[in-house]
Chain A
Amino acid sequence: MNAMPGAAGEAGEGAAVPLLRAHHLAKHFAGSGAAVRAVEDLSFELAKGEVLGLVGESGSGKSTLGRLLLRLIEPTQGRVEIDGVDISALKPTPLRQFRRHMQMVFQDPYGSLNPRMKVGDALTEVLLLHGMSSRATARDDAVRLLGQVGLSADFLDRYPRAFSGGQRQRIAIARALAPQPRLLIADEPVSALDVSVQAEVVNLLKDLQQSLGLSMVFISHDLSVVETIADRVMVLYLGRPMELAPTASLYDRPAHPYTAALLAAVPGAGRDKRRIMLKGEVPSAAAPPSGCVLRTRCPFAIDRCARELPALRQVGPGHYKACLRDDLEL
């Protein structure tokens, strides 16, 4: 790979200056047997104000990657730069101070909100911790934050259990936005919600991303949701990138068999429509196949796929794929 796959230019003026750079990131989890290779040699950039969707099935490494990007876990190899700062090299105190610039929203707002803390206290705590408010202004700032996520000031003195799943996710978003981060990582933020609530929360994230000019990594297994919010999408399988492309190219002209199979498996294609079906299930990340990691499930695998590790290479404007075959009609 010559250059790092960069932004597609859809993100507007800031596209030239990346907000985030991941260099050859890898994460191996040691266990009783062989190490689990959750993420392997991943490099990419995120432009300022850009939304990158990370999609993949369980075991794809997408959540591990999200945590690596914020240095919530330490990489086995590689480094992450945010706004030119190599966060991999930061000592604990400067890292803690830098954290205000990079925030995360998780799938389960129950797990990320302290059940014994009133919503107002949860928000003022973050505001004070990061020096965003003084004691005198914290409560007003908390009200403003609630307003930003579409909740009224009545919520301040209530506990998380009093709220619906959608309202709790709004509170979690308000808490993540409190320190005015530059980077927001949303890890399956709507997966636990009913579809009508999903639509509300996606709209909210989309509005906030645009009004605040946030750079965002949106992690999801749901291709339909990612399509509505992402500027570019990276498809992961067994810790490796399969395809990276602007959203429209990826969904309209998938270049990798894995992406094509994922798109064909989205429900509603119709029961009589033949799909590109993958065989079996995801193999263990402790013993990934040689060569292309998809080859054991890929209907198009040839002998070469077992021998060669396909590099991510450009196949169109901003469109990269890691597949040896160029002769496929997908």
Chain B
Amino acid sequence: MPPSDAPARQSAVLDVKDLKVFFPTDDGLVRAVDGVTFSVNAGQTLAIVGESGSGKSVTALSVMRLVERAGARIAGGSIVLTRPDGSSSELTSLSEPEMARLRGREIAMVFQDPMSSLNPVFPVGDQIGEPLRIHRGHSRLEARLAAVELLALVGMSDPLRQVDAFAHQLSGGMRQRVMLAAALACDPMLLIADEPTTALDVTVQAQIIDLLRELQQARHMAMIFISHDLHLVRDVADRVAVMYASQVVEEGPVDAVLGRPAHPYTQALLSCIPRRGELRGRTQRMQPIPGSMPSAISAPAGCRFHARCAHARPVCLAAMPVLQTVAPAWSTRCVRWQELTP
């Protein structure tokens, strides 16, 4: 049985509760993340999906405590990292030096654009070995040897030569492999991948997704996979959290949520993406979601999706729906889910 069916019996590596992240701006307070709760277990991948502006990347950057640099404030909630020995850290209360000791060692992150994360003037081997020199006190030679091994691990051909390559000499897919090698250097408990394949061609994306999945399982790592692509999530994740207007609107096992969605937004988002053979021909039309996502400055009362929802009733405007349990480890923020789910 995949771990997704038994989250309660597994220990959560990361436990995020009621997280709120706000950005003060001239136009008002942007509530980029507004009461987000989720957890990820060892050996499990949680995908966070949503459209641009839904709050998915800010959520990821908050776990890394990188949002404060962008002018945001963690306004509430908790982010708890629990180690295999049972010790844990409340990340929201760590100082920057404490966080720096943890970043790249216990939690690592890969981003969409490896070119801007790689330093153009140092060989990639230096950058892969850097976390080992910082966190583990490796010598230059030890770090270099480890970098060669890591490059082989991420499927780079000729790692002995590539260790001395510069970022600009590598293709997009190889750069992303290098970023992954650097992220895995210290054997993190949690890997956060923020749209790691969005800039890649589909055939290369398929290679990187397979690699991510293999490494995550072989190392029994917890992974948070941020994506705008619901179909891609099917290929990589055990569980999925769907974000809309700074909140999680549905969370559960990936096959359940994407197969029998229990929130009208998840349903609508899925029907925007045509399936093979479904919308061919001149009379077939795609089904967009009417309207647009509400501003994160002035979220509407009640359900945040109600203005765009084909199933909205007065009850949906009365109060913000709390997360309702659809099945064990599957929840939706819709009060009408039972009537709407076939």
Tell me if B279 counts as interface (CB < 8 A to partner A): yes
Say yes or no: A57-B288 contact (C-beta < 8 A), given A199-B272, A268-B234, A281-B171.
Answer: no
Alpha-carbon separation in the docked complex, A157 to B284 (Å): 35
Contact with A along B184-213 (1 / 0, CB 8 A): 000000000000000001111111011001
B207 near A277 with CB under 8 A, answer yes
Tell me if A266 counts as interface (CB < 8 A to partner B): yes
Say yes or no: A271-B234 contact (C-beta < 8 A), given A194-B228, A206-B285.
Answer: yes
B288 near A268 with CB under 8 A, answer no
Which residues of A are found within 8 Å of B234, using beta-carbon distances?
267-268, 270-271
In the complex, which residues 243-287 of chain A have their Cβ closer than 8 Å to any Cβ of chain B? 247-248, 251-252, 261-262, 264-271, 275, 277-278, 281-282
B284 near A228 with CB under 8 A, answer yes
Which residues of B are found within 8 Å of A170, using beta-carbon distances?
none
Alpha-carbon separation in the docked complex, A270 to B213 (Å): 12
In the complex, which residues 77-128 of chain B have their Cβ closer than 8 Å to any Cβ of chain A? none
In the complex, which residues 227-251 of chain B have their Cβ closer than 8 Å to any Cβ of chain A? 228-232, 234-236
Which residues of B are found within 8 Å of A199, using beta-carbon distances?
272, 286-289
Tell me if A86 counts as interface (CB < 8 A to partner B): no
Which residues of B are found within 8 Å of A42, using beta-carbon distances?
none
A267 near B229 with CB under 8 A, answer yes
Contact with B along A76-110 (1 / 0, CB 8 A): 00000000000000000000000000000000000
Which residues of A are found within 8 Å of B43, using beta-carbon distances?
none
Which residues of A are found within 8 Å of B229, using beta-carbon distances?
267
Residues of A in contact with B, size category = 35 or more
In the complex, which residues 43-60 of chain B have their Cβ closer than 8 Å to any Cβ of chain A? 51-52
A203 near B285 with CB under 8 A, answer yes
Residue of A nearest to B285 (CB): A203
Tell me if B268 counts as interface (CB < 8 A to partner A): yes
- The minimal Cβ–Cβ distance linking A151 to chain B, given in whole angstroms, is 14
Alpha-carbon separation in the docked complex, A297 to B287 (Å): 37
Contact with B along A200-235 (1 / 0, CB 8 A): 101100100010000000000101110110000000
Alpha-carbon separation in the docked complex, A304 to B201 (Å): 28
Residue of B nearest to A278 (CB): B203
Which residues of A are found within 8 Å of B202, using beta-carbon distances?
57, 221, 223, 262, 265-267
The secondary-structure label for the interface of chain A is helix
Tell me if A198 counts as interface (CB < 8 A to partner B): yes
Say yes or no: A194-B282 contact (C-beta < 8 A), given A221-B201, A267-B232.
Answer: no
B280 near A262 with CB under 8 A, answer no
Tell me if A153 counts as interface (CB < 8 A to partner B): no
Alpha-carbon separation in the docked complex, A247 to B276 (Å): 11
Tell me if A152 counts as interface (CB < 8 A to partner B): no
Residue of A nearest to B54 (CB): A194
Say yes or no: A206-B273 contact (C-beta < 8 A), given A271-B235, A281-B171.
Answer: no
Residue of B nearest to A231 (CB): B282
Tell me if B173 counts as interface (CB < 8 A to partner A): yes
Alpha-carbon separation in the docked complex, A118 to B274 (Å): 35
Partner of B206, one of A166, A194, A264: A264
Residue of A nearest to B174 (CB): A281
Alpha-carbon separation in the docked complex, A228 to B277 (Å): 8
Residue of A nearest to B289 (CB): A196
Identify which of A195, A275, A282 gathers the most chain B CB atoms within 10 Å of its CB. A195
- The minimal Cβ–Cβ distance linking B155 to chain A, given in whole angstroms, is 10
Which residues of B are found within 8 Å of A210, using beta-carbon distances?
282
Which residues of A are found within 8 Å of B292, using beta-carbon distances?
164, 166
Alpha-carbon separation in the docked complex, A271 to B255 (Å): 12
Say yes or no: A227-B52 contact (C-beta < 8 A), given A57-B203, A271-B213.
Answer: no
B268 near A196 with CB under 8 A, answer yes
A195 near B51 with CB under 8 A, answer yes
Tell me if A134 counts as interface (CB < 8 A to partner B): no
Alpha-carbon separation in the docked complex, A28 to B278 (Å): 39
Tell me if A143 counts as interface (CB < 8 A to partner B): no
Tell me if A112 counts as interface (CB < 8 A to partner B): no
Which residues of B are found within 8 Å of A196, using beta-carbon distances?
51, 268-269, 272, 288-289
B205 near A200 with CB under 8 A, answer no
Identify which of A224, A261, A262 gathers the most chain B CB atoms within 10 Å of its CB. A224
- The minimal Cβ–Cβ distance linking A308 to chain B, given in whole angstroms, is 24
B280 near A247 with CB under 8 A, answer yes
Alpha-carbon separation in the docked complex, A268 to B255 (Å): 11
Which residues of A are found within 8 Å of B236, using beta-carbon distances?
271
Which residues of B are found within 8 Å of A271, using beta-carbon distances?
213, 234-236
Which residues of A are found within 8 Å of B203, using beta-carbon distances?
57, 261-262, 265, 277-278, 297
Partner of B280, one of A223, A248, A269: A248
A194 near B52 with CB under 8 A, answer yes
- The minimal Cβ–Cβ distance linking B54 to chain A, given in whole angstroms, is 9
A58 near B201 with CB under 8 A, answer yes
Say yes or no: A202-B205 contact (C-beta < 8 A), given A195-B269, A196-B272.
Answer: no
Residue of B nearest to A200 (CB): B288
List the interface of chain A (C-beta within 8 A of B): 57-58, 164, 166, 194-200, 202-203, 206, 210, 221, 223-225, 227-228, 247-248, 251-252, 261-262, 264-271, 275, 277-278, 281-282, 297
21 residue pairs A–B, Cβ–Cβ below 8 Å? A57-B202, A57-B204, A195-B51, A195-B228, A198-B272, A221-B201, A223-B202, A224-B273, A225-B274, A228-B284, A228-B286, A248-B277, A251-B280, A252-B277, A264-B206, A266-B231, A266-B276, A267-B202, A277-B203, A281-B201, A282-B201
Q: A57-B201, A196-B289, A271-B236 are known contacts; what are 19 more A-B pairs with Cβ within 8 Å? A: A196-B51, A198-B288, A199-B287, A203-B285, A203-B286, A203-B288, A206-B285, A210-B282, A223-B202, A228-B274, A228-B286, A251-B276, A262-B202, A262-B203, A266-B276, A267-B234, A275-B206, A277-B206, A277-B210
